[in-house]
Amino acid sequence: MADYPIEKIRNIGIIAHIDAGKTTTSERVLFYTGLSHKIGEVHEGEAIMDWMEQERERGITITAAAVTAYWHKVGQAKIKENEYRFNIIDTPGHIDFTVEVKRSLRVLDGACVIFDGVAGVEPQSETNWRYADDYKVPRICFINKLDRLGASFERSYRSILERLTPNAIKMQLPDGEEDQFHGMANLLEMKYYKFEGEHGENVIETDFPSDDLRKRAGTARAELIEKIVEHDDGAMQEYLDGKEPSIDKLRQVLRKATLENKLVPVFCGSALKNKGVQFMLDGVVDYLPSPADRTAFRGIDPKTGEEMARHSDENEPFSALAFKVATDPFVGQLIFFRVYSGKIAAGSYVFNSTTGQQERIGRLLRMRANDREEIKEVYAGGIAAAVGLKGTKTGDTLCDQASQIILEKIVFPEPVISLRIEPKTKADQEKMGLALKKLSDEDPTFRIKTDEETAETIISGMGELHLDIIVDRMKREFGVGANVGRPQVAYKETVKETAQAEGKYIKQSGGRGQYGHVWLRVEPQERGKGFEFIDEIKSGAIPREFIPAAEKGINEALDRGVIAGYPLVDLKVALYDGSYHDVDSSEMAFKIAAGMALQECVRRAKPVILEPIMKVEVIVPENFLGEATGDLSSRRGRIEQMSDRSPLNLKVIDAKVPLSEMFGYATTIRSLTQGRGTYNMEFSHYEEVPNNVAQTIIEGKK
């Protein structure tokens, strides 16, 4: 029997833009759920969820930590029947660690999205919101930091309506803002609450402090009820007949609409000042799904390729998705996984259907950030960490060997920036290889390759900060000293036209010869489409057994473009003709011939270099606007819009700028604005490089 009723489990993520107070909110959650007896502050470097040294130093979250906590709703008796189990995944806000957010959303059932009450919706909030839309994750919002100078609940709420979703609905109204923020009105119950005790742990219901607040809450409540009843015919009929549906009925309708992503409840408060987090947790219970609320989880049968379904039921065959690999200093490698169906016990065998290997689970752990509790079994809907899985990586499916399934994979973005790296001493040489391998197992957006010409090691990632942290972790966790080169942009090459070419590889040198002959056609594809191979061989011009070899030759040739040796992307290659020799043809000959043909095709198809373009948001005081926009234009930036962030007299500039022009920008923007300007940057898309820049790139490669 499952150790916990599945409808009382909530697998939730806390996602936000960097600095919206996400980790502070998570720390309050741990405190109120009784997991920690002392509140750790990020600004004092004491946060429990941020357990890596770099996280504490930089005050940012880098890895998603999975934590199990228990919650009783405000006002309910603290008995087992009223208890809910939360598996909380705290995700990073910094764009360089976007992969952590993506993979967390893949295994979550619901999300709390946190916003800064001063800034409202920020670029990273938009990106994360888009990811949550992709995975159809129901969510609630929490407008935080209402105690800060310049905070405005109404303005932040409007920015959610305008930039994210028109379906957001206010569940609360704050009583005052900035240093006058005292408490809040709960609109559904039409009650006023304030928070007392050293950490706001005592939630006190009192009378409305003013008629004005009561009146505003009454108006907002009428709007709220109108929006809720639209989603249920019975409630709508009652409402039109002049009767108000009961609070329980309204909650039920709102829950159903939230689960279907038709409404998004919005809560408010200040995590730092210990106000409002408890009601957000009640919102998780009331409006976010349990694993039982999720419909079937889709996957494919690895043998037949047919679609299959699994349900959140412990009696179905076991299936789980590994969503994170972490190296723990005490127990070695931990694999975090989410169980979708069935159950698994420590010491049992599981089948990795992605790699086709059987693995043994040594121990099962339930995590409390950097604490752990050993458990015997995990059931459908549970999240746990396994010790002992040797060949399992992020995105792999674990299942019952007798009933195999491959769950939908997590797709990771391609890296945009590279560095050359070398060990400082001979002793570091071997250790560096091991350290890099472990780090790339943990992080699928971090890649390692060896430059064939110079035999140097090249590491690639999502941004300067990303690679900075990797090098830092090598030094601290693995004791490896390394020298790094200057950051290099990950350029790509593609074609603009369609072209055909043949490749012939014929060798006669005593004994058996070599004969391979192919005709290829290359066509451009739209940006981001990648590579596609089409087999158009008719009437046996090339025997079937040589076609995979030709495809392999094409794949290998894609690694080196013809202009400056960058990888080729976004093209379609058709193998449409060729010839063979009864005796001399071999797989090797066709592989070489196809590689030669591809290079020739690309030369004829008007090849171009592509560069990564970044979405940049720059925030500067109004009197420095001219300098900031002028500087962006000189970096080949396209300014897309400018907006105000009142009442702080700040200007926000949204621009698209090539990554190659953004190195060292942090120093520039500070010196241009007397240290008051800040910026955020994330990858947007690849775009063709202008001719003069292409020339510089080609010369730099020679």
412-436 core/surface letters (b: 16 or more CB in 10 A; e: else): bebbbbbbbbebeeeebeebbeebb
pLDDT band at residue 43 under the 50/70/90 scheme: very low
Which tokens is 264 given? 């998004």
Does position 22 have pLDDT exceeding 70, yes or no? no
CA 499/CA 602 separation, integer angstroms: 7
> Do 149 and 132 reside in the same domain of the chain?
yes
Shared domain for 596 and 621, answered yes or no, is no
Residues 434, 552, single domain; the answer is: no
Is 43 marked as a binding-site residue? no
Cβ–Cβ < 8 Å for 235, 245: yes
With H, G, I as helix, E, B as strand and everything else as coil, classify residue 229: helix
Judged against a pLDDT cut of 90, whether residue 554 lies above it is answered with yes
> Is 20 annotated as belonging to a binding site?
yes
- Between 93-102, 187-196, 477-486, the lowest mean confidence (pLDDT) is in 93-102
Question: Is 575 annotated as belonging to a binding site?
Answer: no
Q: What is the reported pLDDT for 36? A: 47
- Same domain for 176 and 196, yes or no, is yes
CB neighbour class for 74 (10 Å; exposed up to 12, middle 13-18, buried from 19)? middle
Output the six-digit token pair for 495.
Answer: 């074609």
Residue 29 makes CB contacts below 8 A (sequence gap 6+) with 14, 69, 86, 88, 277, 281
Query: Average pLDDT of 103-130?
Result: 81
90 is in an annotated binding site: yes
* Sequence-separated (6 or more) residues with CB below 8 Å from residue 408: 106, 298, 299
pLDDT digits (tens, 9 = 90+) for 391-403: 888 788 899 888 8
Q: Of residues 297 and 398, which shows the higher confidence score?
A: 398
**22 assigned to a ligand binding site:** yes
At 570 the pLDDT is 92
299 is in an annotated binding site: no
CATH number, domain containing residue 356: 2.40.30.10
Last residue of a domain, one of 347, 382, 407: 407
Same domain, 109 and 28: yes
Asked if 497 and 485 sit in the same domain, the reply is no
* pLDDT of the residue at 65: 52
pLDDT at 185: 92
Mean pLDDT over the full length of the chain: 83
Residues 585 and 679 in one domain: no
| Confidence class for position 75, pLDDT limits 50, 70, 90 | confident
Asked if residue 1 has pLDDT above 70, the reply is: no
The answer to whether residue 252 sits within a structural domain is no
Residues 303-336: tens digit of each pLDDT: 887 888 888 888 899 999 888 777 766 677 788 8
- Domain stop point among 369, 385, 407: 407
66 is in an annotated binding site: no
**Residue 638 neighbours by CB under 8 Å, 6+ apart:** 655, 656, 657
Tell me the C-alpha to C-alpha distance, in Å, between residue 652 and each of 466, 478, 659: 25, 41, 20
Is the pLDDT confidence value at 543 over 80? yes
pLDDT of residue 635: 93
In a domain? residue 507: yes
Candidate from 108-117, 173-182, 294-303, 592-601 with smallest mean pLDDT: 294-303
Q: How many CA atoms lie within 13 A of 381 on its CB side?
A: 25
Residue 92 annotated as part of some ligand binding site:
yes
45 Rama sector, left if φ>0, alpha if ψ -120 to 50, beta otherwise: left
Q: Which of 15-29, 556-570, 607-621 has the lowest mean pLDDT?
A: 15-29
Q: What is the CA radius of gyration of the chain?
A: 28
Report pLDDT for 648.
62
**pLDDT for residue 49:** 41
Ligand-binding site membership of 400 (annotated):
no
| 561 labeled part of a ligand binding site | no
Q: Same domain, yes or no, for 68 and 145?
A: yes
Residues 483 and 503 in one domain: no
Q: Is the dihedral of CA 193, 196, 200, 201 positive or negative?
A: negative
Q: What is the CATH number of the domain that holds 467?
A: 3.30.70.870
Domain limit, last residue, from 354, 389, 407? 407
Q: Which amino acid, one-letter code, is at 303?
A: K
Look-up: residue for tokens 């009767």?
Answer: 243
Residue 619's pLDDT is 85
Q: Does 145 belong to an annotated binding site?
A: yes
pLDDT value, residue 52: 41
Confidence bin at 679 (pLDDT 50/70/90) = confident
- Phi and psi for 70 in degrees, rounded to 5? -125, 145
Q: Which long-range contacts (CB under 8 A, 24 or more apart) does 49-55 make?
A: 49/23, 49/90, 49/369, 50/23, 51/369, 51/370, 52/473, 53/476, 54/469, 54/472, 54/473, 54/476
Whether residue 144 is annotated as binding a ligand: the answer is yes
| Number of compact structural domains in the chain | 5
Query: Which is more confidently placed, 439 or 236?
Result: 236
Flag whether 233 is marked binding: no
Q: How confident is the model at residue 426 (pLDDT cuts 50, 70, 90)?
A: confident
The answer to whether 301 is annotated as binding is no
Whether the predicted pLDDT of 411 surpasses 50 = yes
Which stretches within 502-569 are classed as H helix? 547-557
CATH of the domain at 636: 3.30.70.240
Do 47 and 58 have their domain in common?
Answer: yes
Does the annotation flag 147 for ligand binding? Answer: yes
Would 239 be classed as within a structural domain? Answer: no
In a domain, 231, yes or no: no
> Annotated binding residue at 397?
no
The answer as to whether 23 is a domain residue is: yes
Cα 63 versus chain centre, distance: 11
Instruction: Return the amino acid letter for 76.
Output: Q
Is 18 one of the annotated binding-site residues?
yes
CATH of the domain at 531: 3.30.230.10
Domain range for 439 is 417-490
Residue 215 counted as domain residue: no
Looking at 14-23, 185-194, 498-507, which range is the least confident one?
Answer: 14-23
Domain-located, residue 336:
yes
Pair 268, 306 in one domain? no
User: CB neighbours (10 Å) of residue 260?
Assistant: 11
* pLDDT tier, 371 (very low <50, low <70, confident <90, very high otherwise): low
Give yes or no: residues 280 and 306 share one domain.
no
**Is residue 251 one of the residues assigned to a domain?**
no
